[in-house]
């Protein structure tokens, strides 16, 4: 009996490993295409040139292009868990668009973040200039702590709405941040007494 169970476990493990090796590359290609399409969507551009991305210590990823900048930011504290948003900014810090890349929010409630904050919707953030907001964007329920809070939260999903806006605020904070790991072409300075 133990031999049969061991054999089944080995065969199942090998089969899973084989399937993983076959699907790994197509999944990577699909995610890369989704990201490329997302950058075009949030910057409202059919064609653009994307520079090598900068990954910051905060975890935000900055994609600078010839049509603006897209920033991917994640907040781990959505109602259902991690929420990842890609936000597009023009050169003046105006929000051009956004796309929810990853969410575990409740269908029909928090999952509405993909549409709720779009242009023409109740929580519209498109066209907002981030520098006009001292502390960033906040839901109107937070007006006591943030007097310029003016974004309508998703009905019955305030936690998700706050997580979404934290992603947008983190994306804006990352917009002008240089990658900490970036290398410069300059030679290190040496003091005279160190020579």
Q: Tell me: the pLDDT tens digits for 71-109?
A: 999 999 888 889 999 999 999 999 999 999 988 888 878
Is 45 part of a structural domain of the chain? Answer: yes
pLDDT digits (tens, 9 = 90+) for 28-41: 899 888 889 999 99
Count of Cβ atoms closer than 10 Å to residue 82 Cβ: 14
Torsion of CA 128, 108, 36, 60, to 10 degrees: 60
Is 10 part of a structural domain of the chain? Answer: yes
Number of domains forming the structure of the chain: 1
Is 108 part of a structural domain of the chain? Answer: yes
The rounded distance, in Å, linking the Cα atoms of 160 and 112 is: 9
Is 195 part of a structural domain of the chain? Answer: no
CB-based contact 89:79 (threshold 8 Å):
no
Is 185 part of a structural domain of the chain? Answer: no
Rounded to an integer, the average pLDDT of 140-155 is 93
What range defines the domain where residue 123 resides?
Answer: 1-178
Is 191 part of a structural domain of the chain? Answer: no
Is 186 part of a structural domain of the chain? Answer: no
Is 76 part of a structural domain of the chain? Answer: yes
């Amino acid at each position: 009996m133990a031999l049969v169970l061991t054999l089944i476990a080995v065969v199942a493990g090998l089969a899973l490993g084989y399937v993983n090796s076959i699907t790994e590359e197509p999944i990577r290609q699909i995610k890369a295409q989704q990201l490329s399409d997302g950058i075009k969507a949030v910057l409202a551009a059919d064609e653009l040139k994307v520079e090598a991305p900068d990954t910051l210590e905060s975890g935000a990823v900055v994609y600078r292009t010839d049509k603006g900048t897209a920033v991917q930011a994640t907040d781990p504290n959505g109602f259902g868990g991690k929420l990842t948003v890609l936000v597009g900014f023009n050169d003046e810090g105006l929000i051009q668009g956004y796309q929810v890349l990853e969410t575990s929010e409740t269908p029909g409630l928090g999952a509405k973040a993909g549409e709720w904050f779009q242009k023409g919707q109740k929580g519209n953030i498109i066209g907002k200039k981030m520098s006009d907001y001292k502390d960033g964007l906040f839901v109107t329920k937070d007006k006591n702590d943030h007097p310029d809070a003016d974004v309508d939260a998703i009905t019955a999903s305030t936690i998700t709405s706050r997580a979404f806006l934290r992603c947008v605020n983190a994306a804006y904070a990352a917009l002008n941040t240089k990658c900490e790991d970036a290398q410069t072409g300059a030679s290190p300075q040496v003091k005279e007494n160190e020579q």
